[in-house]
A and B are shown apart, each in its own frame.
Chain A
């Protein structure tokens, strides 16, 4: 196609294209399924107004490429399948993203602000000598973003004057993009040469039949007040009645009651469900950072002075060992 254009018109065309936004969303997946936060990141990318491409890198991409090609708002899916992307190591993913950037000159590169996105994007940004922006909650314009600082106790509006804007997206602040109706083209991109400085060995994932914490409609969370891991059974029973995910405070994780991936808060997961039920959680600044955008908050705590009551829509001052089984019972009726 390029052959048909003479030099001047090619130049004009490039100039024209450069004025438009183009965004690369780095897709997160497990070689089987797209991770839901990628859909929120695609919505954020669409708000920038330009063309949205997604990069799928992994050891086995076919299924994920099929899913993402149907997502509304995605124009092009770039695919890099190679064994070196096992474990999605940032040392291997970064050269690929840099090569993709060199080829397509995006104005924006983003991903969900998950452990994957937080691990990867700052590395990419440093290589491009630009300052990235973490965990944005709003896009004001293609160069102006809002994010929280100080555990969600202040909102910072940041103007980014970098030639390439690199950011991660808070999943709970953007609706997921529709998974049907899109028809993106796909294109293979060359895998980068393996760097070999890091190696993925194994994973131990917490298995659960309950909904995933960050996207669940209802979350039941327990804190130090539960007193033991065994007692968390009370919360699992309640959660089953509500089809809820189960979360925890740092105190509950540190005490070994539940695994780390259940921690909600400034340094754990950010959730914003329709209903958040905090049980035996005092409501420290760092915990509130992860759940205070929930639509309705319920607190069950025996201490009427607990700070959690200041953000709770419905507060019950009671012994959780009595109240939680009662609530499970009442919901069975």
Chain B
């Protein structure tokens, strides 16, 4: 057993929350709103911990970029079985404009510094819906990428990855070191048990500044405004199937 896995974990508004756009159209309301770990990141953590349990790798390091609260997300990863955490401190204006390009530069720098064998990320964050960070991290490292993974097989210095693609599934074989992004079907993340949450409190979280990693956080993307999507007009309830089919026929839909 050798090698280290770096897992990226992002703190986002909980998936069940109905978000609200700020009245000044600058962004969405985040204050006082329930946050949790991005569901795809949970799947990434679970996969890393499973690789460790199978003794295919020796250490799982959870990384999150953001303000102080990012540490809660790292704690969750530690309670799920990650060995230690790295909190890359980004706050204020830098955090507002923090995007996949900046995060991938941080992940790539850490992957080198920590001599990682694998970087596992979620395929997308459910807030920005970008689906970019894994691919960009792989590019910056010049490592192969196994995106939208639904099955992983680590075998020596190669990984077989089954990927979810538009028409079904495809299997690729990539050499390590590599970047993997997790799709929904990769696994079912475990719940952190109370004893494990207690244990996680003793695990170490190192604090790092982006500048120490040589990463410049300048962003050349500017969000001009955020709007509510157009609302649909209220519909009608129909009583019977015949009524439904009749209405669809009348409106030329069938």
Contacts and interface: CB of A to CB of B under 8 A. Distances in A.
Given A267-B184, A316-B238, A200 B220 contact: no
B194 to A, nearest CB: 27
B8 to A, nearest CB: 14
A250 B184 CA distance: 9
Contacts, number: 246
A242 B245 CA distance: 12
B interface secondary structure, majority: mixed
A214 B166 CA distance: 10
A154 B145 contact: no
A216 interface: no
A12 interface: no
A203 B229 contact: no
Given A150-B13, A157-B227, A197 B144 contact: yes
Nearest to A206: B168
A321 interface: no
Contact of A90 (B28, B135, B222, B253): B135
A interface secondary structure, majority: mixed
Given A198-B174, A204-B168, A153 B139 contact: no
A116 B166 CA distance: 8
A117 B247 CA distance: 39
| Size class of the contact patch on chain B | 35 or more
B226 A114 contact: no
A129 to B, nearest CB: 8
Interface string B194-231: 00000000000000000000000001111111111100
A105 interface: no
Contacts of B126: 150-151, 266-267, 286
Contacts of A154: 19, 21, 28, 226-229
A309 B245 contact: no
Contacts of B36: none
Interface in A128-183: 129-135, 144, 147-162
Contacts of A91: 144-145
Interface string B1-35: 00000000000010110110100000010000000
A179 B22 CA distance: 43
B172 A87 contact: yes
Contact of B174 (A118, A129, A151, A197): A197
B253 A205 contact: no
Interface of B: 13, 15-16, 18-19, 21, 28, 40, 99-101, 104, 123-124, 126-133, 135-140, 143-145, 147-148, 150, 160, 163-175, 183-185, 219-229, 232-233, 235-242, 244-245, 247-248, 251, 253-254
21 contacts: A122-B100, A122-B132, A129-B101, A131-B220, A155-B226, A157-B225, A159-B224, A198-B173, A199-B172, A201-B160, A204-B169, A204-B170, A218-B253, A261-B168, A266-B126, A275-B248, A296-B251, A297-B235, A314-B236, A316-B237, A318-B241
